[in-house]
Structure 1
Amino acid sequence: MRRLIALAVVGVLGVFGVPGASAAGGGAPPVFTNGFGLTVVSQPAWVDGNQRTFVFTVRTAHVPAYSVMAGQVSGEHTIMVTLPEGYDQAAATRYPVQYHLHGHPDRPNTVANQRLFEETTVGVPLITVAPNGSGRGWYANWVNPPAALGPQNWETFHLDEVIPFVDANLRTIARRDGRAISGHSMGGFGAFHYAEHRPDLFAYVGSFSGGLDLLSQEQRAAVVATTQLAGSGTPTVPLESIFGPPIWPFDGVWNRESPAQHVGSLRGMGVAMYTGNGGDLTVDPLVAVVENRAWATNVVTRDHLVAAGIPHTFIDYGDGSGWAEGCTGKHAQLPCLLADMDHFVGLLMGALAHP
């Protein structure tokens, strides 16, 4: 219901052009200062006339180059930020931040991601930050990065550099109870991976159709496939680059970094998972099967959370028919993701410190 109201508000403002309707209140976007290992290549620029979402670009020595998709420049990391309405008119107000990690092979600054952040936060005092994770970064510090690329320390880049950099340049609530992490697909893995490694940073974690079980041979095959697919970025990389060889007895990193089996550190944190089952697997079979297998890794994770006695929210919306109009339970469907995010934002605002 809240999302339907939000969409109605967006429609009204778009039609009638109400003064001050831009979410950030108009004017220039913030100006960022180098620091925490990041060098600003391009300053924030609004993505459209609504002046609510902006993008900027940084460089970091932790990922000095990476496999690029069309339109990307290796070593330049685009980050997209959505501000709450009235941000520049509330000079003394600080806001909680949701860090959202994109999937594979995606990028942070897409129209779909902008919709995902803006449509679910109308009237909500929340900043959303979406960093670059590359088409195949997997939100990890790679075990065997190829020499041609150099270090691929995505986790260090995001947790040790991006977070303090955002806190220094935006009016955030710069503590655990003002911070959440979420992600879709590969990003859902990343969100749980980061939250488990650094529970001191986040008060809430959310996965939208994340691949959470690296002990699953199907999930391992999916990760390995991303290293070889040109569509995930060029150059491709050796299959053992990210987590090492995926076979016993050399698969220790895969076992150690699997979120499903290491939920203990999430105790005391808000935890939410959203997944469909693919619906009719004969319709759009690729995205149907991908979602069905992601669903299986979420069930394993849920079982470990239950066994550990860790409270959590697990939304299994099956074929999507009861979850959102246009959602058929398949992977990366925007109607499903909008409903996921809308529900998750509601959980966040009931748990995070905010104005």
Structure 2
Amino acid sequence: MIRRLTALAAAGVLGLSGASATASAAGGPPLFTDGHGLTVVSRPAWVDGNERTFVFTVRTAQVPAYSVMEGQVSGEHTIMVTLPEGYDRVATRYPVQYHLHGHPDRPNTVVNQRMFEETTVGVPLITVAPNGSGRGWYTNWRYPPAALGPQNWENFHLDQVIPFVDANLRTIARRDGRAVSGHSMGGFGAFHYAEHRPDLFAYVGSFSGGLDLLSQEQRAAVIASTQLPGSGTPTVPVESVFGPPIWPLDGGWNRESPAQHVGPLRGMGVAMYTGNGGDLTVDPLQAVVENRAWATNIVTRDHLVAAGIPHTFVDYGDGSGWAEGCTGKHAQPSCLIADMDHFVDLLMGTLTHP
């Protein structure tokens, strides 16, 4: 695979100053200092002996509690970070990719670690995966339940996590050094964030994202996520995230739908990846979910084309020509890793990096 490596002589990338040059503990991952509204409650710790990926937890008043899945502590937000090889040996700055997990998922899974590490071998890129809850939907909820308090996931990620990472790691803390991507619910989140804050990101990528909230099927998927105990306990009312889902009360859904609001992506790198579910009789649930995500991507592509916005759209169908083991189903690790592999090549051709 071809990785473009360019010099950063005049870009100020090699200079280090302030908290962003925070030292590591002996043999440990970088140290993190409270700030930007985040309190560190569990210090960074390596996931394994390879010492590329570490996890830590924070608290924030933007999401003081949330519906938890097994093993989670309400209000404690796990963040997983994968560093480029040699981060501790070379005093330089790196671009950052923020990757948003799907539903119901969490950032610190084995699959996510594989996806980040395998696709960035030899690549000067930091990857950050923040907690988005099993049903957070990467937005500031319109009607959060009183028992949980604010569910301002967008504020948490864009106004707190990004400057917090910039303050504690050697990043290129500019738009040209930052990308956002995500899969499934996270693909929605990536486009949602990029459209709301185009000043933050130079590239956006969606892997089988549900991008069209005007689709009744996509609305049904969001509503189902509010009611399924597997997405977190307690469950929440159906109107919690985007408001009532029926006309004429569905303005929140219409405003937050990425497919119809692509204009802010102009001048940004844009990529979408999706299968079509393949054989719908095999693993039918995951096949149908992917097929309907595919439909929302088609709508988004059509809006991008109509707006004259350049983009990459990879429709890998049943997956047979995309990656070994990929059969075009939803959330298949082999498909996602192939998506990320392709996406990393694209964004490293755009982002400023060493």
- In which range does the TM-score fall when normalised by the shorter chain? over 0.9
Tell me which residue corresponds to 2:8. none
| CA distance in 2: counterparts of 1:255 and 1:348, whole angstroms | 29
Look up the equivalent residue of 1:170 and give its one-letter code. Answer: L
Q: How many residues align structurally?
A: 333
Distance between the aligned counterparts of 2:341 and 2:39, measured in 1? 33
SS in 1 for 2:88: helix
The aligned amino acid for 1:88 is D
State the SS of the aligned residue for 1:108: coil
**Map 1:233-248 → 2, pairs under 5 A:** 233-248=232-247
Corresponding residue for 2:140?
Answer: 141
Aligned to 2:72: 72
Find the aligned partners of 1:338 and 1:229 in 2 and give their Cα distance.
27
Which residue of the partner structure matches residue 319 of structure 1? 318
Equivalent residue number for residue 122 of structure 1: 121
SS of 2:219 mapped into structure 1: helix
Which fold has the larger relative contact order, with Cα–Cα distance below 8 Å and residues 6 or more apart in sequence? 2
| Structure 2 match to 1:17 | none
Correspondences of 1:262-341 after superposition (within 5 Å): 262-341=261-340
Alignment of 1:1-355 (within 5 A): 1=1, 27-91=27-91, 93-355=92-354
Question: Which residue is 1:10 aligned to?
Answer: none
* Cα displacement (A) at 1:84: 0.1
SS in structure 2 of the partner of residue 89 of structure 1: coil
In the alignment, residue 288 of structure 1 is paired with which amino acid? A
> SS at the partner of 1:44?
strand
- The Cα of 1:111 is off from its aligned counterpart by 0.5
Q: Structure 2: any 5+ residue segments left out of the alignment?
A: 4-23
Cα deviation, residue 123, structure 1? 0.2
Deviation at 1:27, TM superposition (A): 2.0
Instruction: Supply the RMSD in Å over aligned alpha carbons.
Output: 1.1
Structure 2 Cα separation of the partners of residues 337 and 77 of structure 1? 24
Tell me the TM-score normalized by structure 1. 0.93
Cα deviation digits, residues 30-50 of structure 1 (max 9, x gap): 110000000000110000011
Residues 252-285 of structure 1, C-alpha deviation per residue, up to 9 Å, x if partnerless?
0000000000000000000000000000000000
Once residues 303 and 28 of structure 2 are traced to their aligned partners in structure 1, the CA distance between those partners, rounded to angstroms, is 47
Q: What fraction of aligned residue pairs are identical, expressed as a percent?
A: 89
List per-residue Cα deviations over 1:67-114 (Å, max 9, x = no partner): 0000000000000000000000012x0000000000000000000000
Deviation at 1:28, TM superposition (A): 1.1
Could you tell me how far 1:196 is from its partner in structure 2? 0.1
- Please list every run of 5 or more consecutive structure 1 residues that lacks an aligned counterpart in the other structure: 4-23
Matching residue's letter, 1:298: N
Q: Which residue of 2 aligns with 1:20?
A: none
* Whole-angstrom distance in 2 between the partners of 1:85 and 1:130: 18
Letter of the 1:351 counterpart: T
CA distance in 1, matches of 2:2, 2:263: 33
What amino acid maps onto 2:222 in structure 1? V
| Deviations 1:189-246, CA, capped at 9 Å, x for gaps | 0000000000000000000000000000000000000000000000000000000000
**Aligned-residue offset at 1:2:** 6.3
- Runs of 4+ that moved beyond 6 A: none
Partner Cα distance (1:207, 1:221) in 2: 20
Paired with 1:232 and 1:38, the residues of 2 have a C-alpha distance of 25
Q: Displacement, 1:315?
A: 0.1
